[in-house]
Structure 1
Amino acid sequence: MLSLVLAASLAAAPAPRSAPSATTVVHIPQLDKLSGLQAFMSRAGTYAAMARPTTWAAEFHPFLSLDPMRAETLTAVGIDPTGSATVSFLRTGKVSCARLADPKAFQAKAATALAAGGEVKTGTSKGVTTASAPRSSGGRAGYALKGQDVCSFATLQEDDDMLKEAVKLMGKAPAPDARLGKLSGVAFVLQGAMVVGIDGTADGLQAEGTATKLPLPPFQSSGSSPYGTMAPSGLLVSRAQVASTGLSQAVGSVRWSVQQMCATCPPEQIEAMAKTVTEQLTGHIAVLVDSIQVKSSLRTPEGRFFAPRQAIVAEVKDAAKVKAALAPLAQFPGATALEDGYTLALKGGSVLVRQKGPHLVLGNDDAVVRSLLETLPEKGAKLPHAVDFSVDPKKVARGLSQVSLMDVMSNQQLAALFAASAEVGPLLSNSERITGWLDSASGGAHRFSLNWALPPAAGKSSP
């Protein structure tokens, strides 16, 4: 029975005809199903050039000018708009495989396009027809065709290695990829250990994927969360339940941040507090990032630490034990005791540690910490996933816009943020909401989903 179920699932899974050495693969099971994704990209493209369908169309085929989202441009070159297509991006070029409705029409269009670069070499061996020619920009382009399947290529190199790769892809039918069968989408992106399926409408983009190397602790979804009904607003709001095996990793990242900011704080006491707190955590947490306010250079640790105005709350098993474990904070340099915790003055700002019943709150902004404490619900509720999150894209855009030119010129990562602000910032400013969830899967993998919502299209009203 198990073998039958496995066989059925594999039969239903998409089968990309992808190059083994590809760094990134884009697979489209059925080209005529892209209308929803095109609708989203068309609207998003009015604010971000990288989202425009015309931008992506140029990447679809190595040497023919066509738009995979417009059936008439596909049929004009002999490609079947109801068939599948797979584009493999390699370090030295790309290979695009598709199903043909009219092989002769394709060959005629290809011959004209290839001849523009120089002499076209053709051949036929074991049922596979090949053609290749030099490119005017350097390297070679061509295709390998068998029956109604074709793999076209373009390479920066003058040798025929890519042609041989295309011939190999024609040698056997592609195997179903079980990872894609578990995801929804009209197009799939495969990159290393990550696989993402995407779809869209005029009002939003949906993405669903799996990844095995995310820098995240394991999560679990079980029982009622004390933060299940909490609904604060901010740049980022997230609720999660960390698995017991991931608590040390989660607390360790917080401990490292505090130690980096407080060089005079005794590391052995910080480590002892972190150990006790870890043992007392239930795994239920909530994160609130209210906004981003850059007050000093992002090249400095304090600039990066205090730029996001944030707080995190975690449920503890024994509040009295946690309170006793945190008592040494009163003796730390710059520490001030509060009625329900401590504030620790650091270079660039203050860290606050406060308790409210079984809840432990840590934050770097007094107003955000108070807001989080005030929104703690009296009753919990079950969350459908181990992690959920909601992002305010307008606040993200405002945060990205605060990266200074001096920071950009001196830091490659900050330069990337600046580039993202310039390219995606207008789209974020004109977006409604980004929401999603994440669950842990077997083998250290994570499964995730994201919805990027735009305001209702013209002529439509919000529900």
Structure 2
Amino acid sequence: MFALVLAASLAAAPAPRAATASATVVHIPRLDAIQGVTAFLDRAGQHAALLRPIVWYAELHPWLSLDPSQPEALAGLGIDPSGPVTVSLRANGRISCTRLKDPKLFQDKAAGVLVSGSGKTEVKPTTSGGVTTVSIPRESGGHAGYALKGQEVCAFATTGGGFVDDGQGAAMVKEASRLVGKAPKPDARLGQLPGSVYVLLPGRGMVVGMEGSATELRLEGTATQLPLPPFQTTGTSPYGTMKSEGMLFSRARVAPAGVEQAVGSVRALVQQACPACPPAEVSSVARAVSERLTGNVLVMVDSVRSRPNLRTREGRFFAPRQAVAAEVTDAAAMKTALAPVAKFPGVKPLEDGYALDVKGGTLFVRLKGKQLVMGNDEAVAQSLLGAVPQTGAKLPHAVDFTVDPKRLANGLNQVSLMDVVSDQQLAGLFTVGLELGPLLARSERISGWLDSTGGGHRFSTLWTLPAAP
């Protein structure tokens, strides 16, 4: 029975013609079935030029202009509008494999395009073992061409070489010929994910399926190398009935084997914020705390402070107003575990914990009943501590999260050009704010979930736009 189920699964799974040694692979099982994703990108692209369909259409082929929304134009190039396309990005160039409706028409169109970019007067195909190949030097450097067998063609363009043949053209011809030489094997990972477009990152063990509509874009995927702890798939969370608030709201049930890893990441942040705190004592407290946690965790980032000083380490630490809550197994034992904090430099005892004054701000550690809360903003920490309900509830996934895109856009806007000049590490955030900020400000909601699997993690993200433009 298992064999029959496996066979049926593989039969339904997409089969990308993916090149070896690819950094990224994009696979579209049917060019005429991506209207949903295109509809979302078309609307999102009105506020974020990077997401406009015309921008990523240009990446579908190394030297032809493909527009999946225009089936007549595809057919005019000899390409089957209902066929698949697989784009493989490699260090030495790009390969795009498509199915042809009219191979002769494709060859004629390809000849014109390849000649125009090469300075040559004609294209001379060669045929061996039933595979027809073309490779021609480009005026801009490198080589371009294709390998064709029957109705399958893989076109390529190399990225380097200049005007000197560095052998990459021949390597691409060999790889393209291999890809069209036999039918590709179905990829069971793709068959397990919903999607009309798939993105594979082989080096990271990640596969993502994309589906969409005019108001929603869903990404669902699997990964084997995410730097995350294992999570529990069953159990009750004390935060199960809480409503999402703030810029980021996330609940998680960390598995016992992953609690120390999760606490370790918090310990590193504390040590960074308080370099004067004795490392051995900080590590000792972190170990004692991790031994007294159930694994139920809640993270809340309320917002980003107005005009934070992002040019200093402490300024970046205190820029997001945030707090973390964790359920403890024994309140009295946790109070004992936290006692060494009283000896840290700059600490002030509180009725329910400690306030640690450090450069740039204050860290708060509070214990109320079975809730341990740590934050870098007193109001956020107090609010979170007071919002935990008396009874919990089961969650459908090990981790869930909600992002308020409007608050996120406002937070990204706090990164200025002068911040980037002073610290190049902020360039990524500045670029995201510049490119996606206007779209985020007009978005309704971003939410998602994550579960642990036998070989890694499975995750999903849903980006929602308002019903009315």
Same fold, TM-score > 0.5, yes or no = yes
Aligned to 1:54: 54
Aligned to 2:198: 188
Structure 1 position 374, deviation (Å): 2.0
Aligned to 1:455: 466
Aligned to 2:148: 145
- Comparing 361-370 with 139-148, which one deviates more in the overlay? 139-148
Deviation readout 1:383-441 (Å, 9 max, x if unpaired)? 00000000011111111111133331243321111111111111111111100000111
Aligned to 2:248: 236
**1:339-354 mapped onto 2 (5 Å cutoff):** 339-354=351-366
How far apart, in 2, do the equivalents of 1:412 and 1:184 lie?
38
Structure 1 position 329, deviation (Å): 2.2
Q: TM-score, normalised by structure 2?
A: 0.94
Could you tell me which amino acid in structure 1 is paired with residue 65 of structure 2? S
Could you tell me which amino acid in structure 2 is paired with residue 99 of structure 1? R
1:128–1:232 CA distance, 2 compared to 1 (3 A): closer
Structure 1 position 295, deviation (Å): 5.5
Listed as ranges, the gaps of 5+ residues in structure 2 are none
Give the counterpart of 2:179 among 164, 169, 173: 169
How far apart, in 2, do the equivalents of 1:186 and 1:101 lie?
21
What SS does structure 2 have at the residue aligned with 1:431?
Answer: coil
How far apart, in 1, do the equivalents of 2:244 and 2:315 lie?
25
What SS does structure 1 have at the residue aligned with 2:22?
Answer: coil
Contact kept, 8 Å, 1:232 with 1:375, in 2: the verdict is no
Could you tell me which amino acid in structure 2 is paired with residue 120 of structure 1? V
Give the counterpart of 2:418 among 375, 398, 406: 406
Aligned to 2:257: 245
Identity of aligned residues (%): 61
1:138–1:454 CA distance, 2 compared to 1 (3 A): same
What SS does structure 1 have at the residue aligned with 2:291?
Answer: helix
Aligned to 2:266: 254
Aligned to 1:128: 131
**1:44-123 mapped onto 2 (5 Å cutoff):** 44-116=44-116, 117=118, 118=120, 119-123=122-126
- Comparing 281-290 with 77-86, which one deviates more in the overlay? 77-86
Aligned to 1:34: 34
What SS does structure 2 have at the residue aligned with 1:360?
Answer: strand
Size of the aligned set, in residue pairs, is 457
- Comparing 272-281 with 202-211, which one deviates more in the overlay? 272-281
How far apart, in 1, do the equivalents of 2:307 and 2:341 lie?
26
Aligned to 1:263: 275
Aligned to 2:322: 310
Structure 1 position 188, deviation (Å): 0.3
What SS does structure 1 have at the residue aligned with 2:333?
Answer: helix
Could you tell me which amino acid in structure 2 is paired with residue 285 of structure 1? V
Contact kept, 8 Å, 1:114 with 1:132, in 2: the verdict is no
Could you tell me which amino acid in structure 2 is paired with residue 134 of structure 1? P
How far apart, in 2, do the equivalents of 1:360 and 1:416 lie?
33
How far apart, in 1, do the equivalents of 2:450 and 2:412 lie?
24
Contact kept, 8 Å, 1:86 with 1:97, in 2: the verdict is yes
- Comparing 381-390 with 224-233, which one deviates more in the overlay? 224-233
**1:212-223 mapped onto 2 (5 Å cutoff):** 212-223=224-235
Structure 1 position 294, deviation (Å): 5.8
Contact kept, 8 Å, 1:386 with 1:439, in 2: the verdict is yes
1:85–1:232 CA distance, 2 compared to 1 (3 A): closer
What SS does structure 2 have at the residue aligned with 1:153?
Answer: strand
Q: TM-score, normalised by structure 1?
A: 0.96
Q: RMSD over aligned Cα, in angstroms?
A: 1.5
Aligned to 2:18: 18
What SS does structure 2 have at the residue aligned with 1:250?
Answer: helix
**1:282-293 mapped onto 2 (5 Å cutoff):** 282-293=294-305
Contact kept, 8 Å, 1:48 with 1:424, in 2: the verdict is yes
How far apart, in 1, do the equivalents of 2:123 and 2:105 lie?
17
- Comparing 120-129 with 432-441, which one deviates more in the overlay? 120-129
Deviation readout 1:119-149 (Å, 9 max, x if unpaired)? 4121111111122322232222111111111
**1:265-284 mapped onto 2 (5 Å cutoff):** 265-284=277-296
Could you tell me which amino acid in structure 1 is paired with residue 176 of structure 2? A
Contact kept, 8 Å, 2:308 with 2:414, in 1: the verdict is no
- Comparing 156-165 with 52-61, which one deviates more in the overlay? 156-165
Pair 1:416 & 2:419 matched: no
Aligned to 1:461: none
Could you tell me which amino acid in structure 2 is paired with residue 123 of structure 1? T
How far apart, in 1, do the equivalents of 2:468 and 2:82 lie?
28
Structure 1 position 220, deviation (Å): 1.2
Structure 1 position 84, deviation (Å): 1.0
Structure 1 position 215, deviation (Å): 1.5
1:369–1:398 CA distance, 2 compared to 1 (3 A): same
Could you tell me which amino acid in structure 2 is paired with residue 434 of structure 1? I
What SS does structure 1 have at the residue aligned with 2:157?
Answer: strand
- Comparing 183-192 with 411-420, which one deviates more in the overlay? 411-420
How far apart, in 2, do the equivalents of 1:199 and 1:101 lie?
26
How far apart, in 1, do the equivalents of 2:309 and 2:323 lie?
21
Could you tell me which amino acid in structure 2 is paired with residue 393 of structure 1? P
Deviation readout 1:206-249 (Å, 9 max, x if unpaired)? 00011111111111121111110011410000000001111111
Aligned to 2:385: 373
Contact kept, 8 Å, 1:294 with 1:303, in 2: the verdict is no
Could you tell me which amino acid in structure 1 is paired with residue 183 of structure 2? A
How far apart, in 2, do the equivalents of 1:411 and 1:13 lie?
46
Contact kept, 8 Å, 1:153 with 1:166, in 2: the verdict is yes
What SS does structure 1 have at the residue aligned with 2:236?
Answer: coil
Could you tell me which amino acid in structure 2 is paired with residue 178 of structure 1? A
1:89–1:324 CA distance, 2 compared to 1 (3 A): same
How far apart, in 1, do the equivalents of 2:25 and 2:461 lie?
20
